[in-house]
Amino acid sequence: MVIFLYGCAELEGFNSTTNTNKQLYSSKGFALIYDQKLFENGTIKKKLYNDDINIIHSKLNANTYVEITNLDNLKSLKARVSAKSDYPNFFNVLITKKVAKILDLDFNNPYVEISQIKKNKTFIAKEGTIFEEEKKVAGTVSIDKIEIDIISSTETSADVKTKKDFKYIIFISDFYYKDSATNLKKKLYYQTGINNFVVRKINNKKYRLLVGPFESFDALKSTYISLNNLGFDELNIYKE
């Protein structure tokens, strides 16, 4: 299910209108779901209200159109970034609980993909109905309209919720030469003491350096922060 939110303000997207070939931002990782304590203890700098639909990003400007997808059930929300503000680097987006509930996120495993959308893209709802929860959203958020796009899937939401596996990998980089990937693997092992780095052959001209899989959120977060401290900023997290 995809929910579209439209407003009246002009877009000021991350993608420059003078450079149409610039790659749009996309990231897979974990959403940080807002809690008042995060603001009170200084973890985040912006105070939010969980009854509102708010999306905060550390790199994308306010009013940038994005799509957030719950990668466990494929429910998606298309809306604008509310503000640009910092939060812990491990997370790829900061959202309110209302957004999390619309996406039906598991609060203990909020695995999402956030993708920037071209500001001149036209959204057309294929089919759908505004359910009661979406009607409540429409009544409490200042928007012009809400459109629903149903995406077919072989799995039902009930099937998805029964899955308990937590196995994620961190994508570090792709290399043309296997030796280059292997050398960085060895260097990172000596620097971090982490022993589950792996080099995978994608094809004859691409070798991928990964770390994982991780079977707990804490182990994943610890490794991510270790790599982040070494200067690896744009790390994507993938589910095995």
Mean pLDDT of 113-135: 56
User: What tokens does 157 get?
Assistant: 């939401």
Q: How confident is the model at residue 132 (pLDDT cuts 50, 70, 90)?
A: very low
Which residue among 159, 177, 207 closes a domain? 159
Q: Tens digit of pLDDT for each residue in 186-209? A: 999 999 999 999 999 999 999 999
Which residue among 159, 193, 210 closes a domain? 159
Q: Tens digit of pLDDT for each residue in 25-38? A: 999 999 999 999 99
In a shared domain, residues 22 and 111: yes
Q: Is the pLDDT of residue 236 over 50?
A: yes
In a shared domain, residues 151 and 172: no
Which residue among 127, 159, 191 closes a domain? 159
Mean pLDDT of 220-236: 87
CATH number at residue 190: 3.30.70
Q: What is the distance between the alpha carbons of residues 135 and 27, in angstroms, rounded to a whole number?
A: 29
Mean pLDDT of 85-98: 93
In a shared domain, residues 57 and 154: yes
CATH number at residue 117: 2.40.40.10
In a shared domain, residues 75 and 51: yes
Domains identified in the chain, total number: 2
In a shared domain, residues 118 and 183: no
In a shared domain, residues 155 and 172: no
| Residue 164: per-residue pLDDT | 54
In a shared domain, residues 184 and 128: no
| Residue 139: per-residue pLDDT | 44
| Residue 41: per-residue pLDDT | 87
Give me the domain span that covers residue 130. 2-159
In a shared domain, residues 45 and 108: yes
User: What tokens does 164 get?
Assistant: 């308990």
Q: What is the distance between the alpha carbons of residues 183 and 235, in angstroms, rounded to a whole number?
A: 19
Q: What is the distance between the alpha carbons of residues 154 and 160, in angstroms, rounded to a whole number?
A: 10
Q: Of all residues in the chain, what percent carry a pLDDT higher than 70?
A: 71
In a shared domain, residues 14 and 129: yes
In a shared domain, residues 113 and 198: no
Q: Tens digit of pLDDT for each residue in 47-59? A: 999 999 999 999 9
Q: What is the distance between the alpha carbons of residues 184 and 13, in angstroms, rounded to a whole number?
A: 35
CB neighbour burial string for 158-168, b if at least 16 within 10 angstroms, e if fewer: eebeeeeebeb
Q: Which of 61-70, 95-104, 162-171, 178-187 has the lowest mean pLDDT?
A: 162-171
Q: Tens digit of pLDDT for each residue in 148-175? A: 343 333 343 444 444 456 789 999 999 9
In a shared domain, residues 153 and 223: no
Does residue 220 contact residue 29 with C-beta atoms inside 8 Å? no
In a shared domain, residues 35 and 52: yes
